[in-house]
């Protein structure tokens, strides 16, 4: 499951800090990101500038090095305090996707 889950690359529009999250969710049937995440410095909500599938399109694995820019770590701790989805009460539970 988890067909609407994506991996997102974020950059704060204010301080330019970059971060990544494996807990980006799009509206069913679209590629529209539903929830942003807060920059931990600026406390402003940012949406990812780049979104990619959780699974590699080449080998189907979640964690691989087929593509050189790919550095997905789905087990990386999720900052629920910065995630608008978690804060909306729909907790991003890794055991549930």
Q: What is the dihedral of CA 83, 68, 57, 46, to 10 degrees?
A: 20
Nearer to Zn ion by Cβ, of 3 and 58: the residue is 58
Phi, psi of 84 (to 5 degrees): -65, -25
Both structure tokens of 52 = 């990619």
Nearer to Zn ion by Cβ, of 32 and 64: the residue is 64
Residue 40 interacting with Zn ion (CB under 5 A): no
Q: Exactly one of 2, 15, 53, 94 binds Zn ion (CB under 5 A); which one?
A: 15
Q: Exactly one of 18, 50, 53, 58 binds Zn ion (CB under 5 A); which one?
A: 58
Q: Is the dihedral of CA 79, 86, 27, 33 positive or negative?
A: negative
Do residues 55 and 64 lie in contact, with contact meaning Cβ atoms separated by under 8 Å? no
Residue 88 interacting with Zn ion (CB under 5 A): no
Residue 56 interacting with Zn ion (CB under 5 A): yes
Residue 82 interacting with Zn ion (CB under 5 A): no
């Amino acid at each position: 499951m988890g067909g609407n889950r994506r991996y997102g690359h974020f950059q704060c529009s204010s301080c330019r800090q970059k971060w990544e999250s494996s807990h980006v969710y799009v509206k069913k049937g679209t590629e529209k990101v539903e929830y942003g995440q807060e920059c931990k410095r600026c406390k402003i909500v940012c949406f990812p500038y780049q979104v990619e599938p959780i699974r590699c399109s080449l080998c189907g694995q979640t964690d691989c090095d087929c593509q050189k820019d790919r550095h997905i770590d789905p087990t990386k701790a999720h900052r629920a305090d910065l995630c608008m989805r978690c804060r909306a009460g729909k907790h991003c539970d890794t055991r549930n996707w």
